[in-house]
């Protein structure tokens, strides 16, 4: 069955590159109008919007700043009027050694939590308020394999933040299903994106591939079709679920 998202208006955070870009492209291909969120890469985001078409528009916000997170949602609403789904994809991974300076560790921890968890929680709150008023909607939160099996010692904050996203999403599914709000978790494993390059440079590609069941690293386009499927409504009775996309490296 072909996925048809015609008429849907969907926000994708972190949509100027990587997983978010692939998701925006897949959703638009299925017919959705996309709010392309970006932080610094305006020109790149504009190219994404132009390439995917269907009335896509770009919206800037620094997700480490709560005021800008709220403004992002309000700006999208002012332009789109109605939303049918939100994909909270944007995230950061800051390397921070436990053995290092306490203040530097705390700063990295706080910023990671703000972008990966706090901003996601706030956007979920705004989406819930909107969806409750208009009869429902779908929340798709991009977590990580790290939420379930942990990460390396220098990415404790990243793993913890993504674990929080899992609990948040499951709680939304439980609390708001009767209001027509469905919430899903997509948990990629190591995915070959620009953000992952620093990790590859530090640990080597062989380290990353060592525990894969497949021969190649997961790519953003391996993740995007699942998000489109969840947005379609064909999986609504899987609300609260986690879908692992990690080349068979971890099954929980």
Q: Which residues are catalytic?
A: 158
For residue 238, with 0-12 CB atoms within 10 Å meaning exposed, 13-18 middle and 19 or more buried, which class applies?
middle
Stated as kind and residue range, the H or E segment containing 28 is: helix 18-29
CA distance to 46, 106, 237, per residue, from 27 (Å): 17, 37, 20
CA angle 110, 131, 113 (to 5 degrees): 5
What is the rounded distance in angstroms from the CA atom of residue 52 to the CA atom of residue 172? 30
| Ramachandran assignment for 153, one of left (phi > 0), alpha (psi -120 to 50 degrees), beta (any other) | alpha
DSSP state of 190: S
Contact 127, 69 (CB under 8 A): no
Kindly calculate the radius of gyration of the chain based on its CA atoms and give it in whole angstroms: 17
For residue 206, with 0-12 CB atoms within 10 Å meaning exposed, 13-18 middle and 19 or more buried, which class applies?
exposed
Phi, psi torsion values for 213, nearest 5 degrees: -85, -15
Contact 194, 250 (CB under 8 A): no
């Amino acid at each position: 069955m072909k996925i048809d998202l015609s008429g849907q208006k969907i926000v994708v955070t972190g949509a100027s590159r990587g997983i978010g870009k692939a998701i925006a492209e897949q959703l638009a291909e299925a017919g959705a109008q996309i709010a392309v969120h970006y932080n610094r890469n305006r020109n790149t985001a504009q190219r994404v919007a132009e390439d995917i078409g269907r009335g896509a528009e770009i919206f800037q916000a620094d997700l480490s700043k709560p005021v800008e997170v709220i403004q992002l949602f309000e700006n999208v609403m002012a332009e789109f009027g109605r939303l049918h789904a939100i994909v909270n994809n944007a995230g950061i991974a800051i390397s921070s050694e436990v053995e290092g300076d306490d203040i530097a560790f705390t700063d990295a921890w706080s910023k990671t939590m703000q972008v990966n968890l706090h901003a996601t929680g706030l956007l979920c709150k705004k989406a819930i308020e909107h969806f409750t008023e208009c009869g429902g909607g779908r929340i798709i939160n991009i977590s990580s394999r790290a939420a379930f099996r942990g990460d390396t010692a220098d990415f404790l904050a990243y793993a913890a933040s993504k674990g929080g996203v899992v609990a948040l999403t499951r709680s939304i599914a439980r609390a708001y299903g009767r209001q027509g709000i469905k919430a899903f978790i997509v948990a990629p494993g190591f995915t070959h994106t620009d953000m992952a390059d620093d990790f590859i440079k530090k640990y080597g590609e062989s380290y990353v591939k060592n525990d894969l069941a497949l021969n190649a690293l997961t790519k953003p386009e391996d993740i995007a079709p699942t998000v489109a499927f969840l947005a379609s409504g064909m999986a609504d009775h899987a609300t609260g679920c986690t879908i692992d996309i990690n080349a068979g490296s971890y099954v929980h």
